[in-house]
Amino acid sequence: MLNRLDPPGGQLATVRYAEADFQVLSPGNYVVCAITGKPIPLDELKYWSWQRQEAYVDAQSSLQAEREAGNLA
Protein backbone atom coordinates (compact mmCIF):
# COMPACT_ATOMS: atom_id res chain seq x y z
CA MET A 1 0.00 0.00 0.00
CA LEU A 2 1.15 3.50 -0.78
CA ASN A 3 2.33 5.60 2.13
CA ARG A 4 0.31 8.82 2.28
CA LEU A 5 3.44 11.00 2.55
CA ASP A 6 5.38 9.36 -0.27
CA PRO A 7 5.00 10.32 -3.90
CA PRO A 8 3.57 7.53 -5.98
CA GLY A 9 6.32 4.98 -6.35
CA GLY A 10 3.99 2.68 -8.15
CA GLN A 11 2.19 2.90 -11.41
CA LEU A 12 -0.47 5.22 -12.77
CA ALA A 13 -3.79 3.36 -12.96
CA THR A 14 -6.22 3.64 -15.84
CA VAL A 15 -9.72 4.05 -14.42
CA ARG A 16 -13.26 4.18 -15.80
CA TYR A 17 -15.43 6.37 -13.58
CA ALA A 18 -19.10 5.54 -13.07
CA GLU A 19 -21.71 7.51 -11.12
CA ALA A 20 -21.24 5.72 -7.80
CA ASP A 21 -17.95 3.86 -8.17
CA PHE A 22 -15.01 3.31 -10.48
CA GLN A 23 -13.42 0.39 -12.29
CA VAL A 24 -9.67 -0.07 -12.61
CA LEU A 25 -8.93 -0.90 -16.25
CA SER A 26 -5.17 -1.21 -15.95
CA PRO A 27 -3.39 -1.87 -12.66
CA GLY A 28 -1.79 0.92 -10.71
CA ASN A 29 -2.01 2.52 -7.32
CA TYR A 30 -2.81 6.14 -8.14
CA VAL A 31 -4.53 8.55 -10.54
CA VAL A 32 -3.82 12.24 -11.14
CA CYS A 33 -6.09 15.14 -10.22
CA ALA A 34 -7.39 16.86 -13.36
CA ILE A 35 -7.21 20.29 -11.69
CA THR A 36 -4.09 20.26 -9.51
CA GLY A 37 -2.00 17.53 -11.12
CA LYS A 38 -1.47 15.96 -7.69
CA PRO A 39 -1.35 12.17 -7.40
CA ILE A 40 -4.33 10.54 -5.68
CA PRO A 41 -3.83 7.06 -4.21
CA LEU A 42 -6.71 4.84 -5.33
CA ASP A 43 -7.58 3.99 -1.74
CA GLU A 44 -8.13 7.73 -1.11
CA LEU A 45 -10.07 8.55 -4.29
CA LYS A 46 -13.40 10.14 -3.34
CA TYR A 47 -14.13 12.76 -5.98
CA TRP A 48 -14.55 12.33 -9.74
CA SER A 49 -16.73 13.23 -12.68
CA TRP A 50 -18.13 10.28 -14.58
CA GLN A 51 -19.25 12.63 -17.36
CA ARG A 52 -15.76 14.05 -17.93
CA GLN A 53 -13.90 10.91 -16.73
CA GLU A 54 -11.71 12.98 -14.40
CA ALA A 55 -10.49 12.50 -10.84
CA TYR A 56 -10.12 15.26 -8.23
CA VAL A 57 -7.94 15.35 -5.15
CA ASP A 58 -10.56 17.09 -2.98
CA ALA A 59 -13.99 18.74 -2.96
CA GLN A 60 -12.52 22.16 -3.80
CA SER A 61 -10.93 20.78 -6.97
CA SER A 62 -14.18 19.08 -7.92
CA LEU A 63 -16.07 22.36 -7.45
CA GLN A 64 -13.52 24.23 -9.54
CA ALA A 65 -13.92 21.66 -12.35
CA GLU A 66 -17.70 22.09 -12.28
CA ARG A 67 -17.32 25.85 -12.50
CA GLU A 68 -14.85 25.59 -15.39
CA ALA A 69 -17.26 23.26 -17.19
CA GLY A 70 -19.97 25.93 -16.83
CA ASN A 71 -22.15 23.82 -14.56
CA LEU A 72 -22.12 26.29 -11.64
CA ALA A 73 -22.24 30.05 -11.32
Taking the chain (73 residues) in consecutive chunks of 10 residues, what is each chunk's mean pLDDT? 54 97 96 98 97 97 94 74
Bridge partners (DSSP) of residue 22 are: 17
pLDDT given at position 66: 95
Whole-number pLDDT of residue 73: 63
Please state the domain extents for the chain.
14-68
Non-local (6+) Cβ contacts of 3 within 8 A are: none
Report if pTM > 0.85: no
In this prediction, residue 2 carries a pLDDT of 46
Dist. CA 37–CA 4, nearest whole Å:
16
